[in-house]
Chains A and B, each alone.
Chain A
């Protein structure tokens, strides 16, 4: 935890891609146990914001604190920090040359130095949890999109992270496969996992989130309880966005 009791704190984050100003001064914190859903139009900087939290995108300006450390400090061991913080991607990004179970054991063995038998046991527990244990020995190309994404969630969970980031994890899925992935995330929320979820599924964002952010044009416009933001948005831009997507 950080000094103020939060798990993650972002201070005055700016991100430039060349001449493009993507994040324009982001300040916010995630408390332990919170499920923060981040919604907003495409190009508003949601994914970039999420990726700055685990430093896959290095902010141009500003500071990121995670669990008592400033991870934007160049001396911080990012590899260590990232083992405590999982991320699940839109494109799954499973390792195609490894079976489902080996996708999970790879980092356990090579990074956390867990013994092979123990790593396998942990991997199977997580596959069980997301309901794809019977596909443990299948390669990613032999799995449906929904199964691949659940394996990716299991891969993040197996590291026993303090926080999991979800980056539009259902956007690449066929409609009939979305529910199985959302159900897996919902289960995590019920167990009290701290999560930040960028999503286009408004119903899901409202249902699973304990807190919602609305972003537009690189800034956070609204931050509050999901029911307030989705039923009673105070900002004109939020109202306009929601009227288009709901």
Chain B
């Protein structure tokens, strides 16, 4: 059975018509890889070796303005010394030379290559050479600057020690704000979309006002006014965290309403005709025919909105949150205030990316899946 499956799989693969390769294009491609590999991989490898070699505060390092006695001086010095080492010099010059060779050979020779594969290898080698050359030249230029303070302030990983728990809680709060805001926003958005699609002006108008107001004013303004103005000013018994969730719901609701409206309008008119011709009311037609189809179409844009909302939750930094309510950025600011070291903000960025990058990949996957027909999504 598996043999049959394999044969079928082979039969379904279109023939490879790119033709054979040869030594010269292969050499150009490899030279390109060497260039970018040396510039990026070589530099990272040297950093790793120095980091593993153990902290040692050298004279050169002190001369660059790194005092011996602060937390993490050893780690900062390792970064600096790996970067200033002779090995790094060699790595960068290898990258520059091989990059230049790959560019020259690749872009000069690709026209006369007899097969598609060879041509593509020449071009790929040249492009990789360009990338390696740019990275290597940039690193070479940075190396000439006074780096002590820069590395100390942004890449002193040791100052983060003891903040792991706070960052985890920050990440949890960030996700909590984003999820709660998104769920509230989706419910609100669906209702508003239905109102905005009404043929009656008196129904449409208030929904339009709401949507345009929340789309037309800055989110940070909404947070400030709702918290300091409404919650505190009117002396309501709600905390900053709850206000933030309400504002994120209201704001997301306005954008989600437009997404749903577009999704509903994209469903063919015939679907409404068919549902109504079977005796369904307008609301039944919406509920059983139009909305279920529209929801599938709006999943990718809504997920994009969610990614945006995750980042926008950082705006709660303007509110007076309790320490237990701190989101990622607030935790970073807290660490920064205690140490005057910006490595905390770098760590916060890593935290956001850890959530957003997989989500962005997921959105792209869902989109490509939806684009290739409804298969697999229809049957749910």
- For residue A141, which residues in chain B have a CB less than 8 angstroms away from its CB? 373-375, 378
- Distance from A102 Cβ to chain B, minimum over Cβ atoms (Å): 10
Pair A96/B374 contact, Cβ less than 8 Å? yes
- Whether a CB of chain B sits under 8 angstroms from the CB of A28 is no
- Whether a CB of chain A sits under 8 angstroms from the CB of B158 is no
- For residue A95, which residues in chain B have a CB less than 8 angstroms away from its CB? 271, 274-275, 288-289, 293
CB contacts under 8 Å to A, within B255-296, are 268, 270-271, 273-281, 284, 288-289, 292-293, 296
Pair B373/A86 contact, Cβ less than 8 Å? no
Name the one of B284, B296, B373 contacting A110, with C-beta atoms under 8 angstroms: B284
How many B residues have CB within 8 A of the partner chain? 23
Which of B273, B277, B280, B284 gathers the greatest number of chain A CB atoms within 10 Å? B277
Given contacts A95-B289, A96-B293, A97-B292, contact A56 B280 (CB under 8 A): no
Closest Cβ neighbor of A139 among chain B residues? B378
In the assembled complex, the Cα of A56 lies from the Cα of B271 at a distance in Å of 12
- Whether a CB of chain A sits under 8 angstroms from the CB of B379 is yes
Pair B268/A91 contact, Cβ less than 8 Å? yes
Which of A83, A95, A97 gathers the greatest number of chain B CB atoms within 10 Å? A97
Closest Cβ neighbor of B279 among chain A residues? A83
Pair B293/A97 contact, Cβ less than 8 Å? yes
- Whether a CB of chain B sits under 8 angstroms from the CB of A106 is yes
- Distance from A109 Cβ to chain B, minimum over Cβ atoms (Å): 10
- Whether a CB of chain B sits under 8 angstroms from the CB of A79 is yes
Interface string of B347-380 (1 = CB under 8 A from A): 0000000000000000000000000011100110
Pair B268/A82 contact, Cβ less than 8 Å? no
- Distance from B164 Cβ to chain A, minimum over Cβ atoms (Å): 46
Q: What range describes how many residues of A lie at the interface?
A: 20 to 34
In the assembled complex, the Cα of A141 lies from the Cα of B378 at a distance in Å of 9
- Whether a CB of chain B sits under 8 angstroms from the CB of A15 is no
Pair B279/A56 contact, Cβ less than 8 Å? no
CB contacts under 8 Å to B, within A83-102, are 83, 85-87, 89, 91, 93-97
In the assembled complex, the Cα of A83 lies from the Cα of B248 at a distance in Å of 44
Pair A97/B296 contact, Cβ less than 8 Å? yes
- Distance from A12 Cβ to chain B, minimum over Cβ atoms (Å): 24
- Whether a CB of chain B sits under 8 angstroms from the CB of A155 is yes
- For residue B276, which residues in chain A have a CB less than 8 angstroms away from its CB? 56, 79, 82
Pair B270/A56 contact, Cβ less than 8 Å? no
Name the one of B268, B271, B277 contacting A87, with C-beta atoms under 8 angstroms: B277
Closest Cβ neighbor of A137 among chain B residues? B379
- For residue B268, which residues in chain A have a CB less than 8 angstroms away from its CB? 91, 93
Name the one of A83, A89, A97 contacting B273, with C-beta atoms under 8 angstroms: A89
* Across the A-B interface, the 9 shortest Cβ-Cβ residue pairs: A83-B279, A107-B278, A93-B274, A93-B270, A111-B279, A82-B279, A87-B277, A79-B279, A91-B270
Binding site for A on B (CB under 8 A): 268, 270-271, 273-281, 284, 288-289, 292-293, 296, 373-375, 378-379
Binding site for B on A (CB under 8 A): 54, 56, 79-80, 82-83, 85-87, 89, 91, 93-97, 106-107, 110-112, 139, 141, 152, 155-156, 159
Could you list some 22 contacts between A and B, CB below 8 A? A56-B276, A56-B277, A79-B276, A79-B279, A82-B278, A87-B273, A87-B277, A93-B274, A95-B275, A96-B293, A96-B378, A97-B296, A106-B278, A107-B279, A107-B280, A110-B280, A111-B278, A111-B280, A141-B373, A156-B277, A156-B278, A159-B279
Query: Told that A93-B268, A97-B293, A111-B280 touch, could you supply 9 new A-B pairs with CB distance under 8 A?
Result: A54-B277, A79-B281, A87-B277, A89-B270, A93-B274, A97-B296, A106-B278, A111-B278, A152-B274
